[in-house]
Amino acid sequence: MTSLAFTKGHGTENDFVLLFDERGELELTPDLVRYLCDRRAGIGADGVIRAVRSGALEAGKDFDESMWFMDYWNSDGTLSEMCGNGARVFGAFLERDGGVDARGGIIIGTRAGARTVTALGGGRYSVGMGTWRLGPEDGPSGVPAAFDSTVHAKGLNPARPALSVDVGNPHHVVALASPAELEGLDLTVAPSVAPTPPEGSNVEFAVTLGGEVIDGVAHGRVRMRVHERGSGETRSCGTGACAVALAVKLWAGPGGPDIWDVEVPGGLVTVRVMGDRTTLEGPAVLVANGVVTVP
């Protein structure tokens, strides 16, 4: 048995076990991740985030060796390229434990590429989410059809068309007609996507709620739920919120808002669409520190 220091944190209730492992000395395995994320036998989380210098990890080889790398794992022990809520929480973690000042923005490495995390004050962070692509991986990029896939989900009859959106990791977004339809979904059962995405997919269900003008700027508002690849239904998904904002903006047609306030079960995040890039803004909270026994 060994002991492992951890921090528990969340971003709009998408929760993570954070591990500080600057020199990459920890043998992080799928079994250890599943144990840490187990809500009954472990600590409990949607995923594990390890803070490690890029030079200490094969996945960080494309970055400057001193750059912090967000080593993200889903609760089932699989890796993901990127986690939007996790990046905000990672920023808060690095500010506290990594000697970092994120007020001017810090660049972190992820499996989806470099991302910039900026502390906005008051426990809020913004993440530059990189470039996005609509449509299937092998399809035309940038000029997509409104829908390219079909999603089956429990509580959703009939199956609905979906749009695939890549924001560094894969998503499929389904438009629903009403909040009642969204609430009626049973996401304890994984939705299925056809054609089957080769790397799996996160699936978002979205209802557009209208919009408002805030400080003279048009904001759209949308509510979503998500079934995450590797974690099941979660209370929020930052990359998913970006995918939803991009999908509803496409569906709204030319002249639709570039800013989308996205309601998730765990709170509210804001997505800004700026050309071929998005930013994600929302809270990050470090909840607890502890030492866990590893069997």
Extract the annotated binding site: 14, 74, 84-85, 169, 202, 228-229, 238-239
Minimum Å gap between C-beta 215 and ligand LBFN2T5F is 26
Chosen residue from 7, 85, 110, 208 binding ligand LBFN2T5F by CB under 6 A: 85
Among 231, 270, 278, 279, binds ligand LBFN2T5F (CB under 6 A): 231
83 noted as active-site residue: yes
Has 237 been annotated as catalytic? yes
Q: Taking CB under 6 A as the rule, does residue 118 contact ligand LBFN2T5F?
A: no
> Which residue in 43, 83, 94, 206 is the catalytic one?
83
Note whether 95 binds ligand LBFN2T5F by CB under 6 A. no
In this structure, what token pair is assigned to residue 208? 């557009």
**CB under 6 A: which stretch of 31-39, 91-99, 185-193, 222-230 binds ligand LBFN2T5F?**
222-230
Give the angle 60-229-69 at the CA atoms, nearest 5°: 15
> Does residue 70 interact with ligand LBFN2T5F by CB under 6 A?
no
Q: Could you say whether residue 14 binds ligand LBFN2T5F (CB under 6 A)? A: yes
Burial of 258 (0-12, 13-18, 19+ CB in 10 A): middle
Residue 291 beta carbon to ligand LBFN2T5F: minimum distance, rounded to whole angstroms = 25
84 binds ligand LBFN2T5F (CB under 6 A): yes
CA–CA distance, 195 with 261 (Å, rounded to integer): 30
User: How many of the chain's residues bind ligand LBFN2T5F (CB under 6 A)?
Assistant: 18
Q: Which residues contribute to the site for ligand LBFN2T5F (CB under 6 A)?
A: 14, 47, 74, 80, 83-86, 169, 202, 228-231, 234, 237-239
The residues carrying an active-site annotation are 83, 237
